[in-house]
Amino acid sequence: MPRVIGQPTSRIDARRKVTGRADYAAEALLPGMAHGVLVGATIASGRVEAIDTTAAERAPGVVLVLTHRNRGRLGAMPSGLDWTTGQALDPRPPLADDHVRYHGQYVALVVADTLEQAQHAARLVAVRYQEQPPLVALDDPRAPRVAPEAALGVPLRIERSAPVAPLDIDVDVACGDHGDCRGALAAAPVTVDHTYTSPAEHATAMEPHAAIASWTDGELVVHSSTQYVGGERAALAAAMEVPVERVRVVAPFVGGMFGSKIATGGHAVLAALAARQLGRPVKVVLTRPQVFATVTHRPASAQRITLGAGPDGRLQAIRHHTVTQSLVEDGYPDDNEYVEPTTFTSRMLYACPNYESAHELVRLNQMKPGWVRAPGEALCTWALESAMDELACRLGIDPVELRRRNHAAVRPGDGKPFSSKHLLACYDRGAERFGWAQRDPRPGSMRDGDVRIGWGMATATYPGLRLGATVRLRVERLDGSVTATVSTAGADVGQGLYTVVAMTAADALGLPVELISVELGDTRLPPCAQAGGSNLTASVASAIVDAAGELRRRLGVAPDAPFADAVLASGEAAVEAEATSTVIVGETDRLVFQSFGAVFVEVRVDPDLGRIRVARVVGVYDVGRVLNPLAARNQLAGGVVWGLGQALLEGLAYDPVHGQPINGDLAGYLVPVHADIPAIDVGWIDAPDLDFNPLGVRGMGEIGITGVAAAVASAVHHATGVRVRDLPISPERLLG
Ligand code: MOS
């Protein structure tokens, strides 16, 4: 039986998708379904002084108008990230009271027989506000500044240190600090000390957030666009104050998410509430502007990086102070804080004996920030890798050579070994494929006519996570042959989980892929972690291998023998086994699991217009074994496209007076389109990380974005001599 793992394999769900038979959340047609339209606040800070729903209630087709005055009781949604607690996008329940904390915050839900009737009536809801000047910028001196006490459920060391420069703070969350950073910086022959900023960045998934809720005999069923049915079930059960066993969340297909669909949105809670009150199904779909205003985003940030080095470029100290935005507090539990984990990366990326970090939150009148693709790494690598390029320029050392000299063979600080690290090979192969040896290091020296050419590079990284999955494997006799069904609640959000599950099961059982059925995205299936943290392939594949092993043992089939004959010979109509993979969050007692890569970028800059075109990108990644090369290319190149958007285009802007998003739709919020995207050449080392799981796979959903923004900024500097430290690198930043 030829093995299918490692073979380029087309998506087994492709036909359903292109023929419109893949059901997304908003597409369920339930009998008697009503349509809910959310009304958003038109101020960003203040109170609802009066809300008049009379006209809306009288409008044709309207069956319910919910506001904070009549919405009734909701339970508190906890803040956890696991399937026993769930997490809320906005930590305050929807329509909690008359407080408005961000523009677009829901102030009413209008439900009618048809969508058009609900849209019409939503415009008739009359709200009078008492408006306060909103807090909209990280550097607003009125905005409360706090040091988070804990983040992400990961224990962090809390330290106090003396305030230093403008962005420094007096109470720090420090992550993996080691050595004497201040002493080493004072003594370092060379220092580089700059602040790098970035605006709020949105996940911009193609499918808007949507939920259809229905109740039958006290059981709630929600069709939801979620990357985490288990978490959503727990959160909705808490909000509705019913046992989790009475809630089912269904998400067989999800149109992209990138972190924005981990937590449960107020739209889903209100759909469930309205459906219960009305005794009929209710569907609520966010408009695109509502997605921008009321769904989480990568926080605006300012990161100050201070590097101390010797004349040979060897790092002696790294300081990393991060400031990110948070939502004004207003009484929500502070264990529901979101702290972008930037320091997880800076503490381990390079061999450096002295390291110090700090994090500060600035509370603003904008939706609470949260998970967005490579949360932490995408921002940290923007700042740290830019600073490394500045250090390379200062010392006249080639940027790749500088990274090699600072390569960390073990994790700095504690000396814990990496399970499998091939970063040096990524530098070598990437440089080779890109032609880096031809680079003239002098800024502005490489030209094509009037066009300036710049080459930049950066290190990429993302941890190896396994957040746990239970998989059921059922093998049945069918007309003299056998078929297998693999079931788990994990979601295929576009990353190709259906296919890789089928491939893994096919190899584990010695059956062709065509005989494997896959069931995903339903809380009725065995529980599974979120499709997030690039973890699902590793989590699910491990459990499939274990479940298949269990079946083999039971039927006495040798590990490499095909399974079908044994099932047929056993006389059983069906055999079934379940297995659960354990949780590994980046490390065990013994080993650190971390992916790495190197990304190289060529930009072409028109010096008169400041126009930047990315001409080509080469990325080489060490992500463990690659199970499906087609999906791997998709994921890695897709991540690079994200990085190009972060570098050149993206940023949610808020009106400084009224605090509303001023480019909160797909006309105003720029993301890369095909014309912006050059040839992207991604490759991988394909070294299995067998300490991580039996297949040696580490996942690759997020690493592709990391490093790209710094590589672009470094390439722009190489082309023009202009160092841009504020994202996005828009043309006006080059015209000064
Ligand atoms: Mo991802 S930001 O862990 O969905």
Residues 548-579: tens digit of each pLDDT: 999 999 988 887 788 888 888 888 899 999 99
Ligand 1 centroid to Cα of residue 471, in Å, is 21
Can you spell out the DSSP letters for 102-140? STT-EEEEEEESSHHHHHHHHTT-EEEEEE------TT-
Q: Residues 313-368: pLDDT tens digits?
A: 999 999 999 999 999 977 766 556 788 889 889 999 999 999 999 888 999 999 99
Ligand 1 centroid to Cα of residue 292, in Å, is 17
Helix runs in 168-287, H state only: 181-187, 229-240, 266-278
pLDDT score, position 335 = 59
375 lines ligand 1 (CB under 6 A): yes
Burial of 55 from C-beta contacts in 10 A (0-12 / 13-18 / 19+): middle
Decide: 320 and 343 in contact? Cβ < 8 Å.
yes
Domains of the chain (ranges; CATH) run 14-22+468-582 (3.30.365.10), 31-132+209-257+261-294 (3.90.1170.50), 150-201+297-464+589-735 (3.30.365.10)
- Ligand 1 atom closest to the CA of 374, numbered from 1: 2
Burial of 132 from C-beta contacts in 10 A (0-12 / 13-18 / 19+): middle
Ligand 1 centroid to Cα of residue 533, in Å, is 5
Which residues are CB-neighbours of 67 under 8 A, at least 6 positions away? 51, 53, 95, 107, 108, 125
371 lines ligand 1 (CB under 6 A): yes
- Ligand 1 atom closest to the CA of 533, numbered from 1: 3
pLDDT score, position 334 = 58
Alpha carbons 320 and 322: distance in angstroms, whole number: 6
258 lines ligand 1 (CB under 6 A): yes
664 lines ligand 1 (CB under 6 A): no
Ligand 1 centroid to Cα of residue 534, in Å, is 7
639 lines ligand 1 (CB under 6 A): no
Number of H helices, E strands in the chain: 16, 28
Q: Whose CA is nearest to atom 4 of ligand 1?
A: 259
pLDDT score, position 263 = 93
Which residues are CB-neighbours of 478 under 8 A, at least 6 positions away? none
642 lines ligand 1 (CB under 6 A): no
Low-confidence ranges of the chain (pLDDT < 50): 150-173
Decide: 5 and 631 in contact? Cβ < 8 Å.
no
Ligand 1 centroid to Cα of residue 63, in Å, is 37
pLDDT score, position 155 = 32
Active site residues: 702
State the chain's maximal CA–CA distance in angstroms: 80
Alpha carbons 528 and 467: distance in angstroms, whole number: 8
pLDDT score, position 174 = 58
597 lines ligand 1 (CB under 6 A): no
pLDDT score, position 167 = 25
370 lines ligand 1 (CB under 6 A): no
Q: How far, in Å, are 3, 212, 696 from residue 537 at the CA level?
A: 18, 28, 11
User: Which residues sit opposite 250 in a β-bridge?
Assistant: 223, 522
With the most atoms of ligand 1 within 8 angstroms of its CB, the residue from 702, 703, 705 to mutate is 702
| Torsion over CA: 545, 565, 487, 684 (sign) | positive
pLDDT score, position 586 = 86
pLDDT score, position 175 = 66
